[in-house]
Amino acid sequence: MSVPSLKKIAILLPVPFDQTFTYQVPEALTVGRGDYVQVSFGSRTLIGVVWGEAEDVAEEVPAPAGEVITKTRAAYTLKPILKKKDLPPLTDQTRQFIEWVSQYYLSPLGLVLKMVMAEPSVFKERKRKTSKEAPALQPRVPVVLSEAQQHCASFLAERLNGFHTVLLEGATGSGKTEVYLELIKEASDRGKQAVVLLPEIALSAQWVARFERRFGEKPLLWHSDLTSAQRRDNWEKVARGDARVVVGARSALFLPYQDLGLVVVDEEHDGGYKQESGVFYQARDMAVVRASFASCLVVLASATPSLETLVNVEQGRYERCHLGERYAEATFPEVVLVDRREEKGGGVPGSQWISKPLYQEMKETLAAGNQVLLFLNRRGYAPLLLCQACGMRTTCKQCDAWLVYHKSQNKLQCHHCGHGEKPRTVCPGCGAEKSFVPCGPGVERVMEEVTALFPDARPLMMTSDTMTTMKQAEAMISKIENREVDIIVGTQVMAKGHHFPHLTLVGVIDGDLGLGGSDLRLVERTYQLLHQVAGRSGRAEKKGRVLIQSHRGDHPVMCALLVQDPSLFLALEKESREMYGFPPYGRLAAVILSGRQAPEVEKAARALAAVIPRVKDIEVLGPVPAAMSRLKGQYRWRFLVKSPRTLKLQAFLKRWRAAAALPAHIRFQIDVDPYSFF
Ligand SMILES: [Zn+2]
Ligand SMILES: [Zn+2]
C-alpha cells in the first residue's frame, strides 16, 4: 500500500508541555509558520500555532497523552489540521521571544504561548467587526518641552531605529512621561506600534487621561480588569496592527504585536514587574529581550532606578539620559526624621501612631487649606490579634503566617492565601473570653486615629482593599485633585506616580517597616518607596515636607533619605551585594519543592540534594524548610543556586531537574532571578 504524501507540520499548543505536536496538513489547506490552526488533541479541540515543518523539530518525546506519533509510523496515522483561523500569523519575532522566555525561565513552551494567546474568546467562531487602522497621532495642543526634556527626547528619537536600552532617569515630577509621549508619537508616525508597561493598573487611569489630553484619543488598554469582550477586541487590534499605542500591565508585553517599534517600562524599579505564578518572569528584563528581537528601542523610566539597571548602565550595557532639573522648578520636599525613641510619654493624648511633631504639622497644613498624606505600607487594621491571657496569636490554617485583622469587615485574613475567618470571642488556646487585642497598626487603625484626632477633616483611605477597580481608583484620584479630601491614609498603591499639587505634607507612620528581613532587595525597596512617597509632596509651586517616624534613625536608609543623596545609599548597597556575589553581580535561582505531606517533601528535598550536578563555581545552598514553610496548605523546602554572572544557570538546572526522579505529587518549581526568598 502506498502512503499518501501529505505534509507533516509541528504545532505548538497552549498546554503545559515543552514540545510541539505533529499534525498533517490536508491537501486543500495552505498553512504557514505562525498561523493559528484548530486541531483535535486527545478528546479536546484546541487552537495552536504552526511552529515549523515537523522535520525541523529536533526532539519529539511521546507525551503522556500519547499524542505524538513517532516518525517511524506511517504519516497517514497523523491527525489532520481541522481549520485555519482568519487571523494574522504570529510573527517570527514573537515566536523567537516565546522560545527565549521558555528557555531562560525553564518554563514549558506551551505555557509561554498560552500567555500570548491570552484571551480564548478571540478564537471562537463569530462575526468579526472590521476594525480600521488607527489614524496618526495628532497632538491637540503644542507641547513646550524644557531644554532638558528636549535633549532627552532627541537623544531617544535618534535611537528609535534599532535595538537600544536607555534608562530615562529623573526625579518625580521631572516630566519623564512628556518625553516618552513625544517618542510614542515619533514611533507612531513611522507606522510602528508602541507599548507602555505600568506596574499597577490603578495607575493607568491618570496615564490614559494624560495621553488623551495630549492626543485627543485613548490608547488601547490591556490588563486583567477588562471584560472578556474588551480583551478580545483589543487583542485582535494588536494582532492586526490596528492599535498603535498599548498601555497595560506586565502581561501586555506578551501581546502579538505586528510591528513593535518602542517599548517603555515606566517605574522600572517596581517589584510589580515580577510574576510569581504560572511562568515566573521579570517583565522589565523581558521587555529588553522583546525589544532586542524587534530591533527597537526600550526605555526604562524611573526616579529611583533599580540597582540592576544602574549597574547595567555603569557597565555599558544600557545607556542613560537624565532629566536634571525638576519640571516647573518645584523644589524637592524637605525630609525630617522623627525619632520615636526620644518621645517616651510626651506624645499626643489619645494617639498611638501619630507623633507630636507630625500632629502639629498636620494641624498647620490643614489650617492652610492643604492636603496631608499618611503612608503606611500595611493593609487592614492590625497585622495580628494576640490573646492577652495566654499569648496565642491568630495564625493561618494553611500558611505559616499571621492572620491580619480587617476591622471594617470584621474579618481575619491571610494575605498569602486569601483564607478568611471571623475573629473568635473565645480563645481556642486557653478558653479566655474576649481576650484578643490587636497588635501593631495597619492603615485602618491609623484611619481610626485620624478620625479621632481631626474630627472635622475629610479623610480618605487608599489601599488595594478600597481600590479594587479602575473606576474606584479614578474616583478617588479625582476627589483628591478636586480637594474634596484633606487627609489621605494609604499603602504603596498611593506611592506610585500620582500627581497631587496641593499635597504638601507626607507623614510616614513606620519608616522602619521593611528594614528587618533577609530579602536582598528589601533595603533597596524601602529606600525607593520612601523616596517616592517623599516625591508625592509639593510637586507644583508649593514646597512640601516629609516627616518620617522611625525607631532606627541611625539606619543607612534613613541617613540617605535625610541628605537627599541616593548615591550615598547606592554605594553602600552595591558594596554589600558585590561582597556576597548577589545580583546584579552574580546569578541566583531558587528551587522550591512543595507537597501536602511534610515528611514526603523533606524526603524529596534530601533526594534532590543527593543528585546535585557538580559544576565548578556553581554553589547550591540548602535544602532548608522555606521561611514560609507552609503556604496554601503546601509544605515547602527550598534550595538557592548561586553562580558568577558570567555563568548561565539554565543548563545546570536542566541537568539537575532531569536527574531528579521526584514522585508525581511533589511539585518542583524553578524561579530564575528570584525576588521572593520566603
Ligand atoms: Zn488565650
Ligand atoms: Zn494563608
Query: With 80 as the cut, is the pLDDT of residue 452 above it?
Result: yes
CA of 630 to the centre of ligand 2 (A): 8
Q: Which whole number is the average pLDDT over 109-113?
A: 97
Q: Does pLDDT of 435 surpass 80?
A: yes
pLDDT at residue 516, as a whole number: 59
Confidence band for 541, pLDDT divided at 50, 70 and 90: low
Q: State the Cα–Cα distance between residues 117 and 236, nearest whole angstrom.
A: 10
What pLDDT is stored for residue 2 in this prediction?
41
Residue 543 has pLDDT above 60, yes or no: yes
Residue 138 lies in a domain: no
Nearest ligand, CA of residue 433? 1
pLDDT of the residue at 125: 79
Same domain (yes/no): 570, 639 = no
Q: Which of 122-131, 255-264, 327-336, 613-622 has the lowest mean pLDDT?
A: 327-336
Which of 293, 328, 363 represents a domain boundary (last residue)? 328
Residue 401 CA to ligand 2 center (angstroms) comes to 6
CATH classification of the domain holding 626: 3.30.70.600
The answer to whether 271 and 675 have CB atoms below 8 angstroms apart is yes
Q: Mean of the pLDDT values across residues 275-282? A: 93
Q: Give per-residue pLDDT as tens, 651-664.
A: 999 999 999 888 98
Question: Which ligand minimizes its atom distance to the CA of 396?
Answer: 2
- Cα 607 to Cα 592, 611, 653: the distances in Å are 14, 7, 15
pLDDT band at 25 (very low <50, low <70, confident <90, very high): very high
d(C-alpha 69, C-alpha 56), whole Å: 15
Low-confidence winner among 84-98, 183-197, 534-548, 566-580 (lowest mean pLDDT): 534-548
What is the CA(439)–ligand 1 centre distance, in A? Answer: 14
The string of pLDDT tens digits covering residues 562-581 is 766 677 778 888 888 888 88
**552 lies in the same domain as 615:** no
CA of 667 to the centre of ligand 2 (A): 18
Q: Give burial (CB, 10 Å; 0-12/13-18/19+) of 124.
A: exposed
Closest by CA position to 191, among listed 126, 251, 136, 150: 136
Q: Which of 525, 556, 575 is the last residue of a domain?
A: 575
CA of 422 to the centre of ligand 2 (A): 14
| Contact between residue 533 and residue 373 where contact means Cβ atoms under 8 Å apart | yes
Nearest to 535 by CA among 145, 146, 174: 174
Backbone angles phi, psi at 48, to 5 degrees: -130, -175
403 belongs to a structural domain: no
74 and 100 in a single domain? The answer is yes
Smallest-distance ligand from the CA of 391: 1
Indicate the average pLDDT of the chain.
Answer: 87
d(CA 17, CA 59): 13
Q: Which amino acid is at 30?
A: T
202 - beta bridge partners?
none
Whether 613 and 652 map to the same domain: the answer is yes
Cα(6) to centroid(ligand 1), Å? 75
Is 82 in the same domain as 225? no
* Residue 437 CA, ligand 1 centroid: distance in Å: 11
- 413 within some domain: no
Domain count, the chain: 4
The 8 Å CB, 24+ separation contacts for 405-412 are 405/380, 405/381, 405/438, 405/442, 406/379, 406/380, 406/381, 406/444, 406/465, 407/380, 407/381, 407/382, 407/438, 407/444, 407/445, 407/448, 408/381, 408/444, 412/385
Q: How confident is the model at residue 519, as a pLDDT?
A: 67
pLDDT over 70 for what percent of the chain?
88
Q: Are residues 283 and 235 in the same domain?
A: yes
Which range of residues forms the domain containing residue 644? 586-672
Residue 633 to residue 421: CA distance in whole angstroms: 16
- Tell me: do 167 and 67 sit in the same domain: no
**pLDDT above 80 (res 600):** yes
Query: 196 versus 174: which is more confidently predicted?
Result: 196
What distance in angstroms lies between residue 190's CA and the mean position of ligand 2's atoms? 50
Compute, in angstroms, the gap from residue 391 CA to the centroid of ligand 1: 6
In this structure, are 190 and 278 located in the same domain? yes
473 and 346 within one domain: yes
Give 111 Cα–ligand 2 centroid separation in angstroms: 26
Helices within 158-302 (DSSP H only): 176-189, 204-215, 228-239, 283-294
- Is residue 473 domain-resident? yes
Q: Let me know whether 323 and 335 are in one domain.
A: no
Q: Is 286 contained in some domain?
A: yes
**Residues 307 and 177 placed together within one structural domain of the fold:** yes
CA–centroid distance, residue 411 to ligand 2 (Å):
14
CATH number, residue 476: 3.40.50.300
Indicate whether 551 pLDDT > 80.
yes
Q: DSSP labels for 483-521?
A: T--SEEEE-GGGGSS---TTEEEEEES-TTTTSSSS-TT
Q: What is the mean pLDDT of residues 212-236?
A: 92
* Confidence category of residue 486, pLDDT binned at 50, 70, 90: very high
Span 617-623, average pLDDT: 93
Percent of the chain with pLDDT over 90: 59
Burial 589-625 (b: 16+ CB within 10 A, else e): bbbbbbbeeeeebbbbbebbeeebeeeeebebebbeb
Question: What was the pLDDT predicted at 162?
Answer: 95
Residue ending a domain, among 295, 328, 361, is: 328
Residue 50 CA to ligand 1 centre (angstroms):
63
pLDDT (tens digit, 9 = 90+) per residue, 367-382? 999 999 998 888 999 9
- ipTM of the modeled complex: 0.95
Q: Model confidence at 518, in pLDDT bands (50, 70, 90)?
A: low
In a domain, 407, yes or no: no
Residue-level pLDDT at 299: 98
- Per DSSP, what are the bridge partners of residue 351? none
For residue 259, give the nearest of 287, 288, 232, 290 by alpha carbon: 290
551 compared with 294, residue with greater pLDDT: 294
Look at residue 584 in the predicted model and tell me its pLDDT: 92
Tell me if 2 is assigned to some domain. no
23: domain CATH number is 3.40.1440.60
Interval 64-100: pLDDT, tens: 444 444 444 444 478 999 999 999 999 999 999 999 9
304 with 201, same domain: the answer is: yes
Asked whether residue 658 is domain-assigned, the answer is: yes
